[in-house]
Amino acid sequence: MRAEIITIGDEILIGQIVDSNSAFIGKALSKIGVSVKHITSVGDDQNVILSALKIANSRVDFVVLTGGLGPTKDDITKKTLATYFNDILVRNDKVLAHIESLWKTYIKQPLLQVNKDQALVLSTAQILINDHGSAPGMWIEKDGVVFVSLPGVPFEMKAIVDNVLVPRILEKFKLPFILHRTLLTQGMGESMIAELISDWESVLDSEIKLAYLPNLGRVRLRLSAQGPVKNVVEEKVQLAIDQLLPLIQDIFVGFEEDDAIEVVIGKTLIVRGQTLSLAESCTGGAIAERLTSFPGSSKYFTGSLVSYATRVKHDVLGVDKEILIQAGVVSEAVAKEMALKAKDFFKTDYAISTTGNAGPTTSEGRVTVGTVCMAIAGPQGVSVFSFQFGNNRERVISKAVNKAFELLYHELLKNASKEV
Amino acid sequence: MRAEIITIGDEILIGQIVDSNSAFIGKALSKIGVSVKHITSVGDDQNVILSALKIANSRVDFVVLTGGLGPTKDDITKKTLATYFNDILVRNDKVLAHIESLWKTYIKQPLLQVNKDQALVLSTAQILINDHGSAPGMWIEKDGVVFVSLPGVPFEMKAIVDNVLVPRILEKFKLPFILHRTLLTQGMGESMIAELISDWESVLDSEIKLAYLPNLGRVRLRLSAQGPVKNVVEEKVQLAIDQLLPLIQDIFVGFEEDDAIEVVIGKTLIVRGQTLSLAESCTGGAIAERLTSFPGSSKYFTGSLVSYATRVKHDVLGVDKEILIQAGVVSEAVAKEMALKAKDFFKTDYAISTTGNAGPTTSEGRVTVGTVCMAIAGPQGVSVFSFQFGNNRERVISKAVNKAFELLYHELLKNASKEV
């Protein structure tokens, strides 16, 4: 089954928002064996939407639209769909009752005509109830092509996809098994890796697709394959991986599972009953933010001291003034002290520290932009590291955050083997 | 000038990454008067890319492609463009010299054939030099349509767009003036606002487009217009705004400028020579992360104590144990103490605190998921607030961060008028 995702809204085209809806839907569909071939974004313009529908209709079997279902005049998706399918809008009493109950519980304001009109749906549509909002999803079939219209508000859309759309697709269609396996590597550029594995790649099963995904100091190798029988696909990909691994053993870090590395770290710490704290300078809270974006982080994450001003490193965290002056704020010596002090300060098993110059200028410290020092204090002692992450602020911070997780992950692995 | 952005890569379609490149390019083009009509994402598949090129060629004047320019076998954009334009790839010596210099300075590894091949470009292309990487951008003109191919690595792409592509477009084309003005409102849903301003909207100049953008507790109203003469467009939109403002005076917060609210806050504090610190619980470092993602934040932002564990609120920050027990961890009383203690702890003029239950379960505290208490301590005292942000973790955290900035912004405005 080939799919196209159409996201609707001028705000996407002018870059006022980043369209993350299509990535969410793409992931959800890929996982169950629907092959997303196109993502298209168009503005709030009836003719352009009609033309996008026509093109999608001609090239895929399944179309998911998001956006333009709100109650205001710029929301034209429903009307446009009615035009496209030569259908009319009719009131759905179940949806109206749901809207009335939402208004009674949360909004506590009189229900306006435009809100009631949210219950108008295409007469030929099946309704996908939106638990979190007033705009229902719709499922419309025409000449063997399915069109699904979803609200553009991300958490409303996500709940409908997970709870209603995916189960319905699985119930209605017999889908192939699609497998993506991603290998994380570090320490070598993509062209060197390509050279290293070229013999393997040249005889790779033609039904397996290989992609190189370089990103912030790491290259991910993704193998993708699909077929009707799960076992056959899995065995084929596993065989390719078994042949690949010996070639990349020096740079192989692990498999990218559904879990992000920070989730794997969290699970490991929870299982071991251990805790983590942070002393963040140049990462400015970004490590804490990533950890706490996942539920359950309070089970192992105690806290972070974001010591952005130098005096906080001394006054609050207690880093020795002599070390700050002699080694400089951005130094391995200060990173080491910060990690050790944070471990004491928060009374945790592990602590990570970061200090660096994320840029854009070198005025503040004496080190060049992009220099980052980090330390990891743990039950076995403390390790310090220095890096040069280039001259782009956003990139320096992101690379530092990724590196911190990578270092801690290796530290946890090392300590596990020591404990054995 | 009508434009289409085409982003290339299977990783976009399967949701392995969120395509933020197209938002960046969309914003950059809109700003200079290029009207982005379509964004299209396709996989690493020659036929699909060819078909996307053909469709774009038929409906716009300007096409920007990103991705697929790397040195590995899955990078097929250049070869596909050569096929599409019936052109050949030739070595560009200037690009080759640039690649050799990059390798000498940063990579310090032998230059492989695949790296040298990065200097192969379409014979009819003009080169857009990529200072930060080895894949050059290309500018190809055919039958009045311009095709620009850019690397997919965001910071490489961004530098080419800002430093090379935008200046070249401005030099080559006479563009209309496009104006977007966005008004921020809070405290009323989009349907109520639409009702409130319906008379105004019904007589709105037909060349002005109005959009309602509801997001996390705020509705943004965007007015867009374009025309050949800057003054005429500006006056037309200003007139509409002048008529709109009295109608929404109770909910109007301000204009959304290019600057995010956290940048406005930072500028205000720097001008006043004042400082800010944080005590973050449920936001887990997300407020600090947002502040420090902008350069210059070290001039006013001192630090954040991310007190994720309850005992840190007491042991480190010094919140009274009695208050923690009696009022509960998530309470206005604790928020107030946290803000006051953080102000002392970091010795700053302002401090913001957050404590809440971001979910997904209520097991930890006694308050329901979505309850967030905040306080702002400043020179004039401390203010406390309580909110209910719903039951979606990501949304609760994002809403809390937005709300914190909004509250501080209002506090700063209030104090400015007191000081006068």
Host domain of residue A186: 178-256
Do residues B185 and B167 share a domain?
no
- pLDDT, residue B137, reads 96
Q: Is the same domain home to B194 and B286?
A: no
Nearest in space to B37 (alpha carbons), one of B8, B9, B62: B62
Please tell me the predicted confidence (pLDDT) of residue B3. Answer: 97
Burial class (CB in 10 A: 0-12, 13-18, 19+), A392: buried
Running DSSP on this structure, what letter comes out for residue A389? -
Asked if A199 and A116 sit in the same domain, the reply is no
CATH classification of the domain holding B11: 3.40.980.10
* Predicted pLDDT of residue A420: 38
Contacts of B303 in chain A (CB under 8 A): 305-309, 312, 316
Lowest model confidence (mean pLDDT) among A213-217, B53-57, B236-240: A213-217
Phi first, then psi, for residue B203 (nearest 5°) are: -110, 10
CATH of residue B225: 3.30.70.2860
Task: Taking residues B135-163, report their average pLDDT.
Answer: 94
Domain identity same for A141 and A190: no
Query: What is the structure's pLDDT at B420?
Result: 38
Contacts of A20 in chain B (CB under 8 A): 18
The distance of B122 to chain A (nearest Cα, Å) reads 21
Tell me whether residues B16 and A182 touch, CB distance under 8 A. yes
CATH code of the domain covering residue A349: 3.90.950.20
Judge if A22 and A116 occupy the same domain: yes
Specify whether A163 is located in the same domain as A205: no
pLDDT per position as a tens digit, B273-288: 999 999 999 999 999 9
Q: How far apart are CA A89 and CA A92, in angstroms?
A: 9
Q: What is the pLDDT of residue A120?
A: 95
Among B131, B152, B172, residue at a domain's last position: B172
Assign A19 to helix, strand or coil: coil
Q: Which of B172, B197, B218 is the last residue of a domain?
A: B172
A34 and A161, same domain (yes or no): yes
Nearest residue to B277 via CA among B355, B356, B354, B339: B339
Average pLDDT for B96-103: 91
* Position B147 confidence tier, pLDDT thresholds 50, 70, 90: very high
- Say yes or no for a CB contact (<8 Å) between B308 and A298: yes
Listed by number, the residues of chain B in 275-334 with a beta carbon closer than 8 Å to a beta carbon of chain A are 278, 280, 283-289, 291-293, 295, 297-298, 301-309, 312, 315-316
pLDDT at A257: 65
Of B13, B212, B305, Cβ closest to residue A72: B212
Q: Does B114 touch chain A (CB under 8 A)?
A: yes
Q: Report the residue from A13, A75, A312 with minimal CB separation from B36.
A: A13
- Any chain A CB within 8 A of the CB of B410? no
Do B214 and A70 lie within an 8 Å CB cutoff?
Answer: yes
Residues A105 and A183 in one domain: no
Q: How many domains does one find in chain A?
A: 3
Whether chain A has a CB inside 8 Å of the CB on B360: the answer is yes
* Same domain (yes/no): B146, B193: no
- State residue A334's pLDDT score: 95
pLDDT band for position B168 (cuts 50, 70, 90): very high
Interface test with B, best of A13, A184, A290 (most B CBs within 10 A): A13
pLDDT means over runs of 10, chain A (420 residues): 96 92 95 94 96 96 95 90 96 94 82 90 95 92 95 92 95 90 85 91 91 79 91 94 93 75 88 95 95 90 91 87 90 96 95 91 71 95 92 86 89 67
Residues A320 and A407 in one domain: yes
- Split at pLDDT 50, 70, 90, the class of B132 is confident
Q: Do B71 and A191 touch (CB under 8 A)?
A: yes
A151 touches chain B (CB under 8 A): no
Domain match, A238 and A279 both: no
Whether residue A393 sits in one domain with residue A364: yes
| Residue of higher predicted confidence among B186 and B311 | B311
Domain boundary among B172, B189, B209: B172
ipTM of the complex model? 0.76
State pLDDT tens for residues A234-285: 999 999 999 999 999 888 878 876 567 788 889 889 999 999 999 999 999 9
Percent of chain B with pLDDT over 70: 96
Query: What mean pLDDT value characterizes chain B?
Result: 90
